[in-house]
Amino acid sequence: MMQAHVFISGFVQGVGFRQFIRTNARKLGVTGWVRNIPGDKVEAVFQGDREMIEQLITLCKRGPFLAEVKDVSVVWEEAGERFTAFAIH
């Protein structure tokens, strides 16, 4: 199982970005979590099949309708805690 730790910056808070990620993660069978962090950023951890995670990362680069994504950084890492669903924190 692969895991990606993702940071998204830009106009990504208050535009439904976390819900957008959760909806698409569930469609792709990706587990993990997403949350807002200081500095107008969103942080997420995605677990699952690498191809599905990469598709979700591609979607993060677009974001929902009102979002303006400036940067998406991804760190691939060993999965520690195993997630069984996708949650918004």
The single residue of 18, 22, 26, 50 carrying the catalytic annotation is: 18
Q: Pull the structure tokens for residue 16.
A: 């439904």
Give yes or no: 24 in active site: no
Cα within 13 Å of Cα(25), Cβ side: 26
Give yes or no: 36 in active site: yes
The single residue of 22, 35, 36, 82 carrying the catalytic annotation is: 36
Catalytic residue numbers read 18, 36
